[in-house]
Amino acid sequence: MTESIKKIFDDWLKEENSEFSGVFSVSGVDGVIFEHTDGYRNKAEKLANISDTVFGIASGTKLFTGLAVCKLIDEGKLSLEDKLCDVLPYELGQIDKEIIIKQLLTHTSGVGDYIDEDAGDCDEQLQKLYDTYPVQLWTRLEYYLQMITPLSPKFKPGERYGYSNSGYILLGLVVEAVSGVQYQQFVNDNIFSPCIMMRTGFYRSDSLPNNTSYGYIKDDESGDWRTNHFSLPVVGGSDGGLFTCAEDMDKLWRAVFANNILSESMTTAFLKSYVVIDDEGDGNGESYGLGVYHYKDNEKLVHFAVGGDSGVGFCTAYYPKTKTVISCFSNTGWLSFYGLIGKLLGVLG
């Protein structure tokens, strides 16, 4: 199996035509099966990425937000059918008052997105956003409301799938309203700590702990690398910005499937496919649950999460048939992780 995984990874890198800077790890029930590290977590000091280096995971954070919301549902403090407007104590502006929690979790709410990833000029819009709202001020989820509430809906709630960062910010605010504690603290207390994820946290980008990788962006004109400190919120929120490592992601997946985070019935609900993203026929293709992606190819199945941002690329996946976890971190930006996850399905699924 190790040689097959190595070949798939090497072939994938060739297809990406990119120098890899990060960590790729594959682990089974008995420990690490294959691992590859390359590049620098700190280019200026030439400090190498190593197996337990911590990386930003961008939208991979949504996996944790989904679990946090499901935890509150499990405790009877919330339901999938609750209306957002009945839960949040804020003036919601243009946000549709009929949106329910389930629609936010499944990206079917239609809420206007403060980062519209469907737009061709997404990167330019994002930089303009950071110019208007300086990144050092993005420390609380309420701060995002001024960017979200004035936006017109993209479609009617429940009409279709439409990936939404705004939706997951609103879910973070739901966690805060229902639990009475800040979103980041709730996730720490209910997921990180019970799973003994010792190197995972919502670290400030200007105060990163030891052995944490900087994210790097290449300047198109000079060819120089610069860090992403001015291109991301200073503190991650419920739609992205968490930091973690390969070992901790292995712990997370195994805790999920051992029903150590949610009850068995709630775990089943969390992992259920609610909306089809790419229908390949006969029940095959890509779908989305309550914060997690699924891909099915006949009898082969994988659950996964991905994330990409300025100087950040991430994927993690769990293959239930072989109880195998893969995680791939890049600190120089997005790679086509979907291809890697799919190719490994042939070996691990």
Q: Pairing state of beta strands 324-330 and 22-28? A: antiparallel
How much is the pTM? Answer: 0.97
Which pLDDT value is given to residue 191? 98
Cα 191 to Cα 62: distance, rounded to the nearest angstrom: 13
Give dist(CA 267, CA 54) in Å, integer: 27
**Residue 222 CA: distances (Å) to CA of 188, 217, 232, 243, 307:** 40, 12, 21, 29, 27
Residue 218 tokens read as 């290449």
Between strands 300-309 and 312-319, the pairing is: antiparallel
Report pLDDT for 11.
96
What is the rounded end-to-end Cα distance, in angstroms, of the chain?
12
Task: Say if CB 303 and CB 257 are below 8 A apart.
Answer: no
- List the Cα angle 127/54/262 in 5-degree steps: 95
Q: CA-to-CA distance for 194 and 48, rounded, in angstroms?
A: 30
Q: Annotate 214-258 with DSSP letters as a single string.
A: PPEEE-TTT--EEESTTSS-SS-BTTB--EE-HHHHHHHHHHHHT
The CA-atom distances, in angstroms, between 258 and each of 2, 261, 264, 305 are 25, 8, 8, 19
Contact 110, 159 (CB under 8 A): yes
User: pLDDT at position 117, please?
Assistant: 80
How many residues belong to the chain?
A: 349
Our count of domains for the chain comes to 1
Name the region of 69 (left: φ>0; alpha: ψ -120 to 50; beta: rest). alpha
What CATH number has the domain bearing residue 272? Answer: 3.40.710.10
Contact 165/239 with Cβ under 8 angstroms? yes
- Give the residue numbers spanning the domain of 326: 2-348
Residue 341, pLDDT score: 98
Query: Considering only CA atoms, which of 79, 126, 141 is closest in space to residue 104?
Result: 79
Per-residue tens of pLDDT for the chain, all 349 residues: 999 999 999 999 999 988 899 999 999 999 999 999 999 999 999 999 999 999 999 999 999 999 999 999 999 999 999 999 999 999 999 999 999 999 999 999 999 999 888 777 887 888 889 999 999 999 999 999 999 999 999 999 999 999 999 999 999 999 999 999 999 999 999 999 999 999 999 999 999 999 999 999 999 889 899 999 999 999 999 999 999 999 999 999 999 999 999 999 999 999 999 999 999 999 899 999 999 999 999 999 999 999 999 999 999 999 999 999 999 999 999 999 999 999 999 999 9
pLDDT value, residue 98 = 98
Report which DSSP code applies to 189: I
Spatial distance between the Cα atoms of 242 and 47, rounded to a whole number of angstroms = 22
SS3 304: strand
Map residue 278 onto helix, strand or coil: strand
Rounded CA-CA distance 227/116 in Å is: 23
